[in-house]
Chains A and B, each alone.
Chain A
Amino acid sequence: MTGLLASYAEVAGKDVVKHLRQLAAPLKTKKVVHVNSTRSGGGVAEILTKLVPLMRDLDIDASWEIVTGDPDFYQCTKSIHNALQGHPGPILPTLIKAYEKTSAENAERLRPVLQDADVVIIHDPQPALLLSHCPDRKGMWIWRCHIDVSRPYRPVWKYLRPFVEGYDASIFSLAAFTQQLPHPQYLIPPSIDPLSEKNMPLETRNVTETVRRFGIDPAAPMILQVSRFDRFKDPIGVIEAYRMANSFVPDLQLVLAGGTASDDPEGEAVLEEVRQAAQGDPDVHILLLPPDSHREINALQRAADIILQKSKREGFGLTVTEGLWKGKPVIGGATGGICLQVANHHTGFLVSTPQGAAMRIRYLFRHRDKIEEMGAKAREFVRENFLLTRQLQDLLTLMVGLMSKAEDRIELG
């Protein structure tokens, strides 16, 4: 077993890796090309950084290409991205023109690799138009949509849909995100990488040092929400819940850790509202962390007693997965992918109001054994369902299925 696969076998189990090998056997030497728009930054690049070498370790001829463009191209793809997530707003024709022109240029450069591949996986809308420029493709083309398209801004989806329809299959993270399309729509939930800086094991000493650096008392009870300062994440509701619970939990600390949100015009305003709501309470820690603070977030999640993700709307909620992986119960808003991960009384609690969150915080601190019990269950739940190896297994199953052209049952010889 090679180094990378062996590392994953240690975390996910030897059986899992054996399973991957068996499943990958029919795909041996097949050319699989992933295409996205960046090699670093963002969840997709993070996944591909590990997924592509893992596929190569399984003897699949996997490679990773990116599309590049000018500022107009990126402005257009960002607008498309926002619109697909439901933000209303038309896109200027000049930007659409730049999107189409840049897609054609990228197709010119990538065509030999893409047309020759057995499987091409196009991630998100940025490279979605490449298919229309590769008429002589020999392999299967799959559109992998990582974003929440459950309620897209219709005019933009209407523009993009004909391009997506040409694919042989698409992949969505949740059933609620699927659309009316003329090809199979596979469901593959996202996953976390257990070996990344954000999820790797940390020494207790490092955890303690990190929380002290932020002025947090490692000995006092702590609840944590990690998320952008965004109204959909309901940080004000989290502060309300903390206030309702803290008279029953002496020395309770609330940590709200989020990004600087430089690309989000609303972020600053929400952050200001959060600061005002905290009213200078020394036990409320509002942490503005740079985007590469993976190890710090890891330490905070490990130091917390309970993780909160009280979102009012959520795609999948990978911060929930991360919290569960650290062996913590999660109190989450009953929305989107949180419902798939948080099972009431098992891995945490689903809530709809600050009052509901406060009640569950009090309950868990009153029954500390439950924190341990749920945390252990939560970690195992993630080990089986939401690690990168499971995402790879799903992808291999899908590729075997598509290449065999079978409907619902494929028996490998």
Chain B
Amino acid sequence: MAKAKNNRKGSASKTQAPGADAEPFIIKNCALVSISTAKRALTLRELGNRLQTIQSASIYHHFWGSLLAPRFDDPEYKNDFAAWVRHSLHDAVLAERLAVVDPKEFHDIEDLRRELVELIEERLDESELLTWNRAEEPFIFLRSQIVVFDTHRSIKRPERLPVALSKMTLGSVFYHFIDARSRTETRIDDFSAWLGGFGKRYEAVIDRIARVDPFFNTLHELREQLALITKDAFRRFCQ
């Protein structure tokens, strides 16, 4: 049966350790299911208070989980807190401030939590009305459960990466490119970690991958961009 792992240090960091250039890249896949925490907020004050104590898995879900959740990607408000403040509380100012919060710039979820609470408190200081304003719909804190499984496919050589990427499921893209950042100690994606294991040879590709914004792209777009970058890079290597 399934082996339970509650920590965020996944197996990819071990199987794709830097320096182990002979090791293949093991392609994994994942599925996410959402769970309600049953905690709600109807005002901005309540949102701020709840955010201080809500489990970190919930903050992770509201920033990243929605990438795999069944809903349309909101091109303007990339995290659920910003979208709720805009659409249910109708405060454009805070919505914009929250929308640009980029989770990958924070060391961990606790730092991210502090930033969110700070932004909310700052806005409450600016607008007394927001202290009392009731949202049209409550914010319901969710978390996700992630199941990771082996696809029994692997990439033996970096030149195979572009084709493998273009065929990857969105679950695999999520696991290796998004989830890796919170799962591994190096906080980088699995592709870069694996290429880094070949020494300085692929530094240029790693640099280009680092410039792909995981937050303002859908998983489809991420897959396309990563496949293009690696295809272009390896074509140059072959020339």
Whether a CB of chain B sits under 8 angstroms from the CB of A19 is yes
The residue among A19, A175, A340, A401 with the most chain B CB atoms within 10 A of its own CB is: A175
Q: Which of B172-203 contact A (CB under 8 A)?
A: none
Query: Do the beta carbons of A381 and B35 come within 8 Å of each other?
Result: no
Interface residue from A26, A181, A341, A410 paired with B5 (Cβ < 8 Å) = A410
Query: Do the beta carbons of A404 and B8 come within 8 Å of each other?
Result: no
Tell me, rounded to whole Å, the shortest Cβ–Cβ distance linking A259 to chain B: 27
Interface residue from B7, B34, B36, B151 paired with A22 (Cβ < 8 Å) = B151
Tell whether A411 pairs with B148 under 8 Å between CB atoms, given A180-B38, A346-B72, A386-B70. yes
Tell me, rounded to whole Å, the shortest Cβ–Cβ distance linking A28 to chain B: 11
Residues of A within 8 A of B70 (CB): 189, 340, 384-386, 390
Query: Do the beta carbons of B147 and A185 come within 8 Å of each other?
Result: no
CA distance A188 to B69 in the complex (A): 10
Residues of A within 8 A of B147 (CB): 23, 397, 400-401, 410, 412
Interface of B is mostly: strand
Residues of B within 8 A of A189 (CB): 70
Residues of A within 8 A of B148 (CB): 409-412
Query: Do the beta carbons of A408 and B140 come within 8 Å of each other?
Result: no
Q: Which residue of B lies closest to A30 (CB)?
A: B1
Q: Which of A368-413 contact B (CB under 8 A)?
A: 381, 384-386, 390, 393-394, 396-398, 400-401, 403-413
CA distance A179 to B37 in the complex (A): 10
Partner-binding segment picked from B25-33, B109-117, B154-162: B25-33
Tell me, rounded to whole Å, the shortest Cβ–Cβ distance linking A50 to chain B: 18
Residues of A within 8 A of B171 (CB): 19
Tell me, rounded to whole Å, the shortest Cβ–Cβ distance linking A173 to chain B: 11
Whether a CB of chain B sits under 8 angstroms from the CB of A155 is no
CA distance A340 to B8 in the complex (A): 30
Query: Do the beta carbons of A404 and B1 come within 8 Å of each other?
Result: yes
Query: Do the beta carbons of A406 and B34 come within 8 Å of each other?
Result: no
Whether a CB of chain B sits under 8 angstroms from the CB of A186 is yes
Query: Do the beta carbons of A398 and B33 come within 8 Å of each other?
Result: yes
Q: Which residue of B lies closest to A391 (CB)?
A: B70
Query: Do the beta carbons of B149 and A178 come within 8 Å of each other?
Result: no
Q: Which residue of B lies closest to A407 (CB)?
A: B6
Tell whether A19 pairs with B35 under 8 Å between CB atoms, given A406-B2, A411-B148, A412-B150. no
Query: Do the beta carbons of B145 and A408 come within 8 Å of each other?
Result: yes
Whether a CB of chain B sits under 8 angstroms from the CB of A347 is yes
Query: Do the beta carbons of B149 and A406 come within 8 Å of each other?
Result: no
Query: Do the beta carbons of A187 and B169 come within 8 Å of each other?
Result: no
Whether a CB of chain A sits under 8 angstroms from the CB of B238 is no
Query: Do the beta carbons of A406 and B5 come within 8 Å of each other?
Result: yes
Q: Which residue of A lies closest to B28 (CB)?
A: A411
Interface residue from B2, B144, B146 paired with A26 (Cβ < 8 Å) = B2
Task: Digitize A140-178: 1 where CB-to-B-CB distance is under 8 Å, 0 elsewhere.
Answer: 000000000000000000000000000000001001101
Q: Which residue of B lies closest to A408 (CB)?
A: B57
Query: Do the beta carbons of B169 and A19 come within 8 Å of each other?
Result: yes
Tell me, rounded to whole Å, the shortest Cβ–Cβ distance linking B1 to chain A: 6
Residues of A within 8 A of B165 (CB): none
Query: Do the beta carbons of A188 and B33 come within 8 Å of each other?
Result: yes
CA distance A378 to B88 in the complex (A): 24
Tell me, rounded to whole Å, the shortest Cβ–Cβ distance linking B166 to chain A: 12
Tell me, rounded to whole Å, the shortest Cβ–Cβ distance linking B144 to chain A: 7
Q: Which residue of A lies closest to B7 (CB)?
A: A409
CA distance A185 to B40 in the complex (A): 14
Whether a CB of chain A sits under 8 angstroms from the CB of B235 is no
Whether a CB of chain B sits under 8 angstroms from the CB of A25 is yes
Q: Which of A7-44 contact B (CB under 8 A)?
A: 15, 18-19, 22-23, 25-26
CA distance A176 to B40 in the complex (A): 10
CA distance A410 to B179 in the complex (A): 13
Q: Which residue of B lies closest to A23 (CB)?
A: B31
Whether a CB of chain B sits under 8 angstroms from the CB of A343 is yes
Query: Do the beta carbons of A178 and B3 come within 8 Å of each other?
Result: no
Tell me, rounded to whole Å, the shortest Cβ–Cβ distance linking B224 to chain A: 14
Residues of B within 8 A of A18 (CB): 169
Residues of A within 8 A of B4 (CB): 404-407, 409-411
Whether a CB of chain A sits under 8 angstroms from the CB of B52 is no
Query: Do the beta carbons of B146 and A409 come within 8 Å of each other?
Result: yes
Tell me, rounded to whole Å, the shortest Cβ–Cβ distance linking A408 to chain B: 5
Whether a CB of chain B sits under 8 angstroms from the CB of A184 is yes
Query: Do the beta carbons of B38 and A181 come within 8 Å of each other?
Result: yes
Residues of B within 8 A of A185 (CB): 35-36, 38
Tell whether A187 pairs with B35 under 8 Å between CB atoms, given A409-B8, A411-B3, A413-B2. yes
Query: Do the beta carbons of B31 and A178 come within 8 Å of each other?
Result: no
Interface residue from A178, A341, A381, A401 paired with B140 (Cβ < 8 Å) = A178
Whether a CB of chain A sits under 8 angstroms from the CB of B11 is yes
Residues of B within 8 A of A341 (CB): 72
CA distance A69 to B140 in the complex (A): 38
Q: Which 6 A-B pairs have the closest CB atoms?
A: A406-B4, A385-B70, A404-B2, A343-B72, A178-B36, A412-B149
Residues of chain B whose beta carbon lies under 8 Å from any beta carbon of chain A:
1-8, 10-11, 29, 31-36, 38, 57, 70-72, 74, 137-138, 140, 142-151, 169, 171
Can you pick out 6 interface pairs between chain A and chain B where the beta carbons lie within 8 Å of each other? A175-B36, A187-B35, A189-B70, A403-B1, A407-B145, A412-B147
Identify 4 new A-B residue pairs, CB closer than 8 A, beyond the known A176-B138, A410-B3, A412-B3: A405-B4, A406-B145, A410-B2, A412-B149
Residues of chain A whose beta carbon lies under 8 Å from any beta carbon of chain B:
15, 18-19, 22-23, 25-26, 172, 175-176, 178-181, 184-189, 340-341, 343, 346-347, 381, 384-386, 390, 393-394, 396-398, 400-401, 403-413
